[in-house]
Amino acid sequence: MQKTCGLCEFESFSPLAKSRDYKNRNLQEEVKAHLKSRQELVKLLESLSEAQWQRTGTHAAYGPMTVLELAVFMVWHDLNHIEQIARSLGLSEAVG
């Protein structure tokens, strides 16, 4: 039986989530793809020099940030979603 992302009730207030149709995606495949993407990112980040960590760019929503600041933001963002998932599954005591 294929599991879908039944945790995605937030689509009603998130146009981006609705356009990505999360609730009809296969949860295991999405987690697997996300983990692979993060592993590739970690590999890339491990190869950066000190100067490269300090390079800046402009995030569409948050403005100027360094590569280091973006990496920290991404970790926080992932942890935030992990907490949301845990709460949706009734595992909130595990995260807080």
pLDDT per residue rounded down to tens, the chain (96 residues):
344 455 555 545 567 777 878 778 888 898 899 899 999 999 999 999 999 999 999 999 899 999 999 999 999 999 998 888 888 888 876 555
Both 2 and 28 in a single domain? yes
3-state DSSP assignment of residue 2: coil
Q: Please name the residues in contact with 8: beta carbons below 8 A apart, sequence gap of 6 or more.
A: 17, 22, 23
Number of domains in the chain: 2
Q: Which domain holds residue 37?
A: 1-47
Both 11 and 42 in a single domain? yes
Both 57 and 43 in a single domain? no
Looking at residue 56, its pLDDT comes to 96
Please list, residue by residue across 56-83, b when 16 or more beta carbons sit within 10 angstroms of its beta carbon and e when fewer do: eeeeeeeeeeebbbbbeeeeeeeeeeee
Both 3 and 42 in a single domain? yes
pTM (two decimals): 0.70
Looking at residue 74, its pLDDT comes to 93
